[in-house]
A and B are shown apart, each in its own frame.
Chain A
Amino acid sequence: MARRRAKRSVARVFRKPKGFIGISLLVALLLLTALAPVVATRDPLQQNLRWRNSPPGSRLGDAAQLSLLGTDQLGRDMFSRILYGTRVSLLVAATAVALGGIVGTALGILSGYVGGTVDAVIMRLVDIQLSLPLILIAMIWIAFTTPSLLNIIIVIAFWTWTQYARVTRAHTLSVKQAGYIEAARATGAGQFRILLRHILPNVFSSVLVIASLQFGRAIILEATLSFLGVGLQPPTPALGVMIASGRQYVDIAWWLATLPGIVIMLLVLGTNLVGDTLRDVLDPRLR
């Protein structure tokens, strides 16, 4: 039954204009990045200084091969770099959102279900985190460890867990009193079973909504950290890194910094539209 409900929700998201545009955007971008090795035949790391800063639409080399989005300051193909950069962004965002979601949801349910000291400690942690200068802490953490993929994912997950924790705690508190929980307990179900089979499914739609809205945020965070020099490092084709290095050539080669940004914007716009619609469909209380 749960599966049928999920299917119906997806259909409802698809029927709303906002959701339709969002899903189409995401599907198009995902397809392009999935097919990157097929559509972008140039190596994103291959430099060619003779071709550097060629504008979009240039025909390069003896074969006069079309360079759709031009080349960067080192003659690397922008189209390839953007597609491979989008792959990295999606990988980091998806992992970070999953990690933050799992930790935040687990702590939120625990906080709401157990209550008492556990609840007080977890909620105090949430409070404290909200008053921290997180960008500074993220920069310190990455700059003073190593800017590896894993560290960036940890930082972004750390940044996002609080919202899951707060929302799932509130839901758990209201679900906990329901008759069916008592019934489950009366039939001798263990605590763990109650948490997993009765409480988790009830908070799941909210978690899904938050995750979809956090996804865009995670993409922007990763790009920002990379832009500031404490995220992914060159020569990795990351969108934030590309914008940072293209910035110096903004007066002679506008496409270096603008094009990767358009892709970030479309990605975030797509996930935000889907997230907004999901929220309207699944969980209007979150508004």
Chain B
Amino acid sequence: MGDRGAVPAERFSWQNIPPEDKDGGIVEGARPDVTGYVVKRLLQFVLVLLVLTGLVFTLLHLSGNPAALLLPANATQEQVAQMSRSLGLDRPIHVQYARYLANLFRGDLGTSYRMNLPVTRVIAVYLPNTLSLAGFSILFATFCSLILGIAAALKRDTAIDVVATMGATIGQSMPTFWLAILLLLLFGVKLKWLPVSGIGGWKHYILPMITMGWYSTAFLTRVIRSNMLEVLNAEYVQVARSKGLHERTVVLRHAFRNALLPVVTIWGLQLGTLLMGSVVTETVFAWPGVGRLSAESVLGRDYPVVLGLILVYGAIFSFLNVCVDLSYALLDPRITYR
């Protein structure tokens, strides 16, 4: 998960001051090297995944023979040995890992022990469900927190502000899995308004979406509120006001855009929170996504699926992190990449 309540990090090299030439003038056309930056991140990502899969591979294989777990409890030694042989588990570990990597480059992630299907196919079935749920959760969180945060900042110290701030503080203190059960109890069991498990029409999305977006909503509301308060007092906003601009124009055109930059940073850090949220949310609501799949695969010792999920999660994480970093350049032209 991302750093809860973390300080927005400087996760890349940036310079607030434009590069200067010898005369102290600003160099024209000092274009950011986006390609170089992306390539660097990509190489780092490949290296990390190699090390990580290697470590997980070792850990998984040191912890016991999965063949024994796949067979019924009364299986003989011979049957276990035969199962190990057929899965290739009797080879030395470095041979197994080399073979895994070789297959990986061909796009083959192995076969799931529990489902007896190619891992790529399993993930291809489960992943879209998680992505759609996560997408809706992010939209939900962004929408709600923007409204609450901006309203609280504009109506500082009124009832709206107090309710939004207090709600956010309490909301941040609730464990996701507990919130899921509360929602399930209230809207599913007591009121019977919404379905409580599985996937289907739009109604199935509501409770999981709220659960998954809850923490981010609470967190972002507080961040947006304090950013807006800071920006609303800035000189350029005062100037915009003194020019006689409409208050709505001042807020939307001048304050809002500048308050958004730190939000993007935190958005990046929220991705980890969402991931943890997906494991918990999908487990409670029996949502057929990769979050629930990872919990089940780890507990069921389905190594190939676990390794595949780490690769997929790592890829999504890195991709989104790069997107977040690049979006700074769009929002704040002062930032360049090294």
Contact = CB atoms under 8 A, between A and B. Distances in A.
Q: Do A and B bind each other?
A: yes
Given A132-B314, A140-B60, A243-B177, A261 B48 contact: no
Contacts of B52: 132
Interface residues of A, number: 54
A235 interface: no
Contacts of B169: 269, 272-273, 276
Contacts of B5: 213, 217, 272, 275
A247 B284 contact: yes
A43 interface: no
B65 to A, nearest CB: 12
A251 B181 CA distance: 11
A273 B186 CA distance: 28
Interface string B13-35: 00000000000000000000000
B172 A135 contact: no
B14 to A, nearest CB: 15
Nearest to A124: B44
Interface stretch (B85-93, B198-206, B305-313): B305-313
A130 interface: yes
A228 B175 contact: no
Nearest to A162: B3
B96 interface: no
Contacts, number: 153
A68 B169 CA distance: 28
Contacts of B269: 130
Contact of A144 (B63, B177, B284): B63
Contact of A261 (B62, B182, B301): B182
B6 interface: yes
Interface string A203-224: 0000000000110110011011
A163 interface: yes
A137 B48 CA distance: 14
A167 B59 CA distance: 31
B185 A258 contact: yes
B268 to A, nearest CB: 9
Contacts of B185: 250-251, 254, 257-258
A131 B170 contact: no
Q: Residue among B60, B170, B175, B279 with the most chain A CB within 10 A?
A: B175
Q: Residue among B7, B178, B280, B318 with the most chain A CB within 10 A?
A: B178
Contacts of A264: 175, 178
Nearest to B48: A128
Interface in B59-83: 59-60, 62-64
A159 B314 CA distance: 16
Given A133-B272, A163-B3, 9 more contacts: A127-B44, A136-B309, A140-B59, A140-B60, A144-B64, A216-B4, A243-B177, A250-B189, A272-B169
Interface of B: 1-7, 9, 11, 44-45, 48, 52, 56, 59-60, 62-64, 169-170, 172-178, 181-182, 184-185, 189, 226, 269, 272, 275-276, 279-280, 283-284, 294-295, 298-299, 301, 306, 309-310, 313-314, 317-318, 321
